[in-house]
Amino acid sequence: MDDPSGSATTLAWLWVIEYLASFPHIEHSILRELIEAAPEIPDDFGKNTREMVALRCLEDLFCRSDNGVANDVTSKELKVTFDLSESCEDVLQSILQETTVSDLNRGGPELLKWDIHPFIMHKRACMPKCALEKVKDAILEGFHPYASLKEYSELVNANDRGNRITTDYGDDGAPGKTIHITGTRYTPREREVVWLVKSLAGDHEDQGCVDGDHLQPQAKRFKEDALHDNLCVGQISTSPAQHKDLVEDSFEMVVEDSENRDFHSEKESSQGGLEGSRPVENDHDEDAGIGRHGRSLDADNEFQHNQHEIAHNVNYSFVDEINHAAPRKSNAAPSAGTSDKLFINGSKDNSDHSGRPKPSNSVSSNGFHRNTDDDEREAITNHLSEEDESNESDEYEHERVDVGLKKSHFLSSQYMSRHDSLAEVNWTDQNLCVKCGKDGQLLVCGAGSCSLVTHENCLVFSPHFDERGDFYCPFCAYSLAISEYLEAKKKAYSARKELKLFIETRQEYQSNKHTQRLHSKRHGSSSQNEDEDLLNKFLDYENLAGTKRIQSNNRGQISEEKEGEEVVRENSSGTELDINQHQVSFDPNYSDGNQLCKEKENVSGSQRTDGQRRKAVCAISSDGGDISGDEDDKSITTNYFIRFRKRERQYTPAMPQSRRKKVPWTAHEEEILKEGVQKFASDGKHPWKDILEYGSSVFANGRTAIDLKDKWRNLCKSSPKSK
């Protein structure tokens, strides 16, 4: 698909802003953020939107329940009234010119002189239906080309809820009627709106506008915007011709049939969208009439343009839907027929699946909630070194949006490419494959709100089914995969932070202890350093694990513990790293306890054998007492340990090595060693490698030729005669 025109993009913003402004309970801050986030909007755009926003400004200024102004109609004779035929923009402008900002913000007495309330009531009652609502109506009506969007906009079951809310707070403005943006009193449809807005507005927290006073700074801000030629009320015009917003009207043409049916009282409105008039005087390029009945084939170009535009501007519904494309396992009661591949017949009398339950909120991981969670976590762990997780997540968030866009583009292009008559084609309703447009045995996407229908054969790859056997269309499957990926990533990230916190906390706890120890011990390894090193090693391990874990093993050694196998890996620089080393090192039964408290702790026998930790060595020691003494071959320990060698500690002191765990020699090993020496040694030379091979069945795993040599040396020390 080609790029959406700039006007289409702008139009999307205008629609959203207008739509949200029509809800009294949508907080002003949301609108403001939205307006700020919106692209530059030409002055001749968005007349209806500006009108709606201006009305909201007026309502916020004068209908607030907490300033008492709204209900104060007692001194009407002293007040300035307004001509009901004036636009909200004009009125707002007039008020702003005569009232100080501070007074407005305070809801002060200056406001009392305006008898704006009847005007607001009138405007609210006469405000034309928003463009978005018209889209919705058109879709719901089903006679419009855009009716094919019905499935994807989740409007099927929402037609009695999405209608614009007329103001009902003029008389009491009871706070209880306010639905807070972060509250729980949303209908699913409203949640969509909230999500939409939050997405568009970047989910910023609005400073200073979250509680009871929020309207005042907002009103101030907005008013200032208005005074500075902002898109909202910047362009005041009273000419009837200018009342027709060119772009918006282009849509009005599109949905005029819908309006004619739905708009009863609105038609009497003398300003705003002029729904009742035929939009023939537009001079924009979107202005061709596309009425359901009146559309001619030669208007097809215009139709397609609008179709395209609609597709773009309803994309966010798709995106939302895509974001909800998740298994219904979480909340949906298994309904009959959903437990397996859902095939539908091509017969047109069986198209009721369009109204099948579409569980909403089946996914908790939309951007809105995730961001909140992340923020909280950030607040808790902001002292940790930051990991740039958000970037990648954002990338996939965007990717998810892209999925929605791609899907909508795909659908609209499919529609257009096959649209050869006036008949409204809705593949879902008519059980036609979205790919080939034919009927037959079709797969219906089982994602929450998606009803994409296609042949199995029309899928390039084999269809994707979830564990319940529900089919997932490629769009939803991809979106679902992204969701799962983000969830897993979030989980890993969280766990990592917790681990880091855990380690750092422990470090603090023991730092004092080890400060003492540092002074009493000779120079050299510091346990605190060891802890840091362990942490570093762990983090390095994560890096290794995240990229490439397989490394060359220069020594070809493989150690094996009785409990399981542990493989020694050595990287190209000669550094041996045992992946499992890290895990063990962070086991409190291992290094933690022993290493940090060993000075006065009694190490039990089992600890000695099983729990002997491998110490990270800084190895600057110069105090090397020589070794001499007797042999002690009585050890029967058969536990073997892993290697952790690092030969470049001189260069990277932050990552010192660990020593292997001591593996006492068994009597049997010694015997074999002696045998091997007798067998292979000649003229003072000891082919330890051969001896190792000779006794490989007996020698402990991990034993090296050097170990044999060392052991033999010890044996010779203890009984020189045997040499």
By CB under 7 A, residue 624 contacts DNA: yes
Nearest residue (CB) to DNA, 144 versus 703: 703
> Is-contact 313 463, C-beta < 8 A?
no
Structure tokens that stand for 693 in this block: 């091979």
Smallest gap, in angstroms, from Cβ of residue 545 to DNA? 22
Q: How far apart are the first and last CA of the chain?
A: 86
Q: Exposure string (b/e) for 596-627, b if CB count within 10 Å is 16 or more?
A: bebeeeeeeeebebbbbbbbbbbeeeeeeeee
Q: Which of 44, 268, 632, 671 binds DNA (CB under 7 A)?
A: 632
Cross-strand partners of 114: 80
By CB under 7 A, residue 707 contacts DNA: yes
By CB under 7 A, residue 180 contacts DNA: no
By CB under 7 A, residue 664 contacts DNA: yes
Instruction: Please give the size of the binding site for DNA, defined by CB under 7 A.
Output: 63
By CB under 7 A, residue 517 contacts DNA: no
By CB under 7 A, residue 629 contacts DNA: yes
Q: Which stretch binds DNA (CB under 7 A): 203-211, 362-370, 391-399, 683-691?
A: 683-691
Q: Which of 431, 525, 551, 585 binds DNA (CB under 7 A)?
A: 525
Cross-strand partners of 565: 560
By CB under 7 A, residue 635 contacts DNA: yes
Using N-to-C axis directions, what is the helix angle for 705-718 and 667-680, rounded to 10°? 100
Query: What are the distances in angstroms from CA 168 to CA 120, 121, 270?
Result: 12, 9, 22
> Is-contact 39 13, C-beta < 8 A?
yes
Q: Which of 241, 626, 720, 721 binds DNA (CB under 7 A)?
A: 626
Nearest residue (CB) to DNA, 152 versus 641: 641
By CB under 7 A, residue 709 contacts DNA: yes
Nearest residue (CB) to DNA, 324 versus 645: 645
Nearest residue (CB) to DNA, 416 versus 681: 681
How far apart CA 334 and CA 470 sit, in angstroms, is: 11
> Is-contact 610 590, C-beta < 8 A?
no
By CB under 7 A, residue 353 contacts DNA: no
Structure tokens that stand for 240 in this block: 């009837």
Nearest residue (CB) to DNA, 598 versus 674: 598
Nearest residue (CB) to DNA, 455 versus 643: 643
Judged by DSSP in three states, 563 sits in coil
Phi, psi of 212 (to 5 degrees): -60, -30
Q: DSSP assignment of 568-606, as one string? A: -EE-TTS-EE-HHHHHHHT-IIIIIHHHHHTTTPPPPHH
Cα radius of gyration rounded to whole Å, the chain: 37
By CB under 7 A, residue 711 contacts DNA: yes
Nearest residue (CB) to DNA, 420 versus 683: 683
How far apart CA 592 and CA 499 sit, in angstroms, is: 14
Q: Which of 184, 627, 697, 721 binds DNA (CB under 7 A)?
A: 627
Smallest gap, in angstroms, from Cβ of residue 602 to DNA? 9
By CB under 7 A, residue 684 contacts DNA: yes
Q: Which of 284, 686, 698, 701 binds DNA (CB under 7 A)?
A: 686
CB atoms within 10 A of CB 204: 12
In eight-state DSSP terms, residue 426 is: -
By CB under 7 A, residue 106 contacts DNA: no
By CB under 7 A, residue 591 contacts DNA: no
Phi, psi of 478 (to 5 degrees): -65, -45
By CB under 7 A, residue 554 contacts DNA: no
Q: Which of 261, 562, 689, 723 binds DNA (CB under 7 A)?
A: 689
Reported as type and span, the H/E element at residue 318 is helix 315-323
By CB under 7 A, residue 613 contacts DNA: yes
Q: Which of 264, 519, 548, 685 binds DNA (CB under 7 A)?
A: 685
Q: Helices marked H in 99-166 — which ranges?
A: 101-106, 117-126, 131-141, 150-153
Angle at 281 between CA 276 and CA 284, to 5 degrees: 115
Q: Which of 114, 471, 665, 694 binds DNA (CB under 7 A)?
A: 665
By CB under 7 A, residue 513 contacts DNA: no
Q: Which stretch binds DNA (CB under 7 A): 31-39, 334-342, 466-474, 660-668?
A: 660-668
By CB under 7 A, residue 324 contacts DNA: no
Q: Which stretch binds DNA (CB under 7 A): 241-249, 268-276, 350-358, 707-715?
A: 707-715
By CB under 7 A, residue 619 contacts DNA: yes
By CB under 7 A, residue 326 contacts DNA: no
Nearest residue (CB) to DNA, 277 versus 701: 701
Number of residues that this document lists for the chain: 723
Query: What are the distances in angstroms from CA 519 to CA 444, 513, 523, 533, 600?
Result: 72, 10, 8, 20, 16
> Is-contact 322 399, C-beta < 8 A?
no
How far apart CA 230 and CA 224 sit, in angstroms, is: 8
How far apart CA 643 and CA 660 sit, in angstroms, is: 5
Q: Which of 659, 674, 675, 701 binds DNA (CB under 7 A)?
A: 659
Structure tokens that stand for 479 in this block: 């979106």
Q: Which of 196, 309, 594, 596 binds DNA (CB under 7 A)?
A: 594
Smallest gap, in angstroms, from Cβ of residue 690 to DNA? 6
Q: Which stretch binds DNA (CB under 7 A): 390-398, 435-443, 474-482, 703-711?
A: 703-711
Which residues of the shown chain bind DNA in the complex (CB under 7 A)? Answer: 524-525, 594, 598, 603, 605, 608, 612-613, 615, 617-632, 635, 641, 643-647, 649-650, 657-665, 684-690, 702-703, 705-707, 709-711, 713-714, 717-718
